[in-house]
């Protein structure tokens, strides 16, 4: 009976429960989690920013060891180390064949239903099913996930480091390396310097950006941004960040701007501080009711700006996870520095509180 952190209702503290776990069905594997990052999206399910149905085992940024393999699964052996991909990528659907695994059709329904690919879930308690967030449920000592939602990794990578790759790093670094088209020498701005924003910053650095302007309202986040490669810090609580960025760029705006918060105001600012012909990349997850207001002619058409959405860092996980681990091994990607503390699954509510209070780096659950 694995111990799991279960979200029992909107704005309710997570309950630590012993849950039942069914054996993997065809196409699934059972993973003993080594670690799980606590991501802002977990909090967003609990507070209703993202839609969830309850009870649900949260957690979607994990890594662990394969302990059981369902029928028809190829490519995995018992004992393999894997990173959980919360977007399962089948490799066969329309989008996967176009090289856009992050849009894979296989797991789309699961994202809505809180089940696995067939809509059902392997967690239960007293015979009542418990949903699993995003085909994952990594806030559990063990989880059954689709085999196409796992990426094999070398065994010498510590699992707490590997776990981070699964969401925040793929999303942030992917936004810079995959979604955006950063050219060598570019000037980049990043609005929002939380966990994902820091990864956008280090991704922009890897992509060859010269100037990286970090924008946030919290000084502690800006300090972290500097450590991850930001060259200029703008504290948005000191005044309008758009005019500040214009001042810094001879009134041109930046080549590529990223929004990593998900608020109407900051998204609109991100588009406005992008230069003529530049790209605004929207990474932050807004509440579902958020609508944008942009000056269509002067703000977008005349300026020839591209506004791009970014889901899961536009990642193809089977190739991007190994690529990111290579950057890590070469010392170009900071991962250890993203972890602020290692906790037990019993302390996950404290990690949520720290996140709400503005803690930048990740709490990582170790099992």
Q: What is the sign, positive or negative, of the torsion defined by CA atoms of 103, 104, 107, 108?
A: positive
Stretch that binds Zn ion, among 89-97, 153-161, 215-223, 328-336 (CB under 5 A): 89-97
Show the 3-state SS of 157-199: CCHHHHHHHHHHHHHHHHHHHHHCCCCCCCEEEEECCCHHHHH
Stretch that binds Zn ion, among 69-77, 96-104, 122-130, 154-162 (CB under 5 A): 96-104
3-state secondary structure of 131: strand
Q: For residue 235, what are the β-bridge partners? A: 216
Is the CB of 193 or the CB of 271 nearer to Zn ion? 193
- Token pair 């020839």: residue: 304
Q: Tokens standing for 178? A: 């995959």
Q: Taking the complex as a whole, how short is the minimal distance between the CB of residue 93 and Zn ion, in angstroms? A: 3
Options 50, 84, 96, 177; binder of Zn ion; rule CB under 5 A: 96
Interface with Zn ion includes 234 (CB under 5 A)?
A: no
Q: Residues 51, 53, 57, 63: what is their CA dihedral angle, to the nearest 10 degrees? A: -40
Interface with Zn ion includes 104 (CB under 5 A)?
A: yes
Q: Taking the complex as a whole, how short is the minimal distance between the CB of residue 367 and Zn ion, in angstroms? A: 18
Of 26-55, binders to Zn ion (CB under 5 A) are 39, 41
CB-count exposure of residue 231 (10 Å: 0-12, 13-18, 19+): middle
Count of positions on this chain that bind Zn ion (CB under 5 A):
8
Q: Taking the complex as a whole, how short is the minimal distance between the CB of residue 315 and Zn ion, in angstroms? A: 12
Stretch that binds Zn ion, among 68-76, 166-174, 200-208, 248-256 (CB under 5 A): 166-174
Options 38, 167, 200, 307; binder of Zn ion; rule CB under 5 A: 167
- Token pair 């918060």: residue: 261
Interface with Zn ion includes 246 (CB under 5 A)?
A: no
Options 16, 65, 93, 263; binder of Zn ion; rule CB under 5 A: 93
Interface with Zn ion includes 310 (CB under 5 A)?
A: no
Q: Is 68:23 a contact under the CB 8 Å cutoff?
A: yes
Interface with Zn ion includes 163 (CB under 5 A)?
A: no
Which residues in this chain contact Zn ion in the complex, by CB under 5 A? 39, 41, 90, 93, 96, 104, 106, 167
């Amino acid at each position: 009976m694995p111990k799991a952190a279960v979200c029992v209702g909107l704005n309710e503290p997570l309950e630590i429960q012993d849950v039942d776990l069914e054996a993997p069905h065809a196409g699934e594997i059972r993973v003993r989690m080594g670690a799980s990052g606590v991501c802002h999206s977990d909090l967003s399910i609990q507070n209703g920013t993202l839609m969830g149905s309850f009870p649900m085992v949260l957690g979607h940024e994990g890594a662990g060891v394969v302990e059981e393999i369902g029928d028809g699964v190829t490519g995995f052996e018992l004992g393999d180390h894997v990173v959980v991909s919360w977007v399962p990528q089948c490799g066969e659907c329309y989008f996967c064949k176009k090289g856009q695994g992050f849009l894979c059709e296989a797991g789309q329904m699961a994202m809505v239903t809180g089940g696995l690919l067939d809509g059902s879930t392997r967690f239960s308690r007293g015979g009542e099913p418990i949903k699993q967030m995003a085909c994952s449920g990594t806030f559990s000592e063990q989880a059954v996930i689709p085999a196409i939602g796992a990426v094999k990794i070398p065994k010498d990578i510590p699992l707490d480091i590997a776990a981070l790759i699964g969401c925040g790093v793929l999303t942030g670094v992917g936004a810079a390396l995959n979604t955006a088209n950063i050219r060598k020498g570019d000037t980049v701005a990043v609005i929002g310097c939380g966990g994902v924003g820091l990864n956008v910053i280090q991704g922009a650095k890897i992509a060859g950006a010269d100037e990286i302007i970090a924008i946030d309202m919290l000084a502690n986040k800006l300090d972290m941004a500097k450590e991850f490669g930001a060259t200029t810090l703008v504290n948005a609580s000191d005044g309008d960040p758009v005019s500040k960025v214009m001042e810094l760029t001879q009134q041109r705006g930046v080549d590529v701007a990223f929004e990593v918060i998900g608020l109407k105001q900051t998204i609109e600012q991100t588009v406005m501080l992008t230069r003529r012909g530049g790209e605004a990349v929207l990474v932050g997850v807004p509440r579902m009711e958020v609508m944008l207001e942009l000056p269509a002619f002067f703000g977008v058409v005349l300026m020839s700006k591209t506004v791009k959405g970014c889901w899961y860092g536009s990642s193809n996980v089977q190739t991007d996870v190994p690529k990111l681990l290579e950057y890590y091994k070469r010392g170009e990607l900071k991962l250890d520095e993203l972890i602020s503390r290692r906790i037990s699954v019993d302390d996950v509510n404290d990690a949520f509180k720290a996140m709400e209070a503005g803690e930048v780096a990740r709490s990582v659950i170790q099992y």
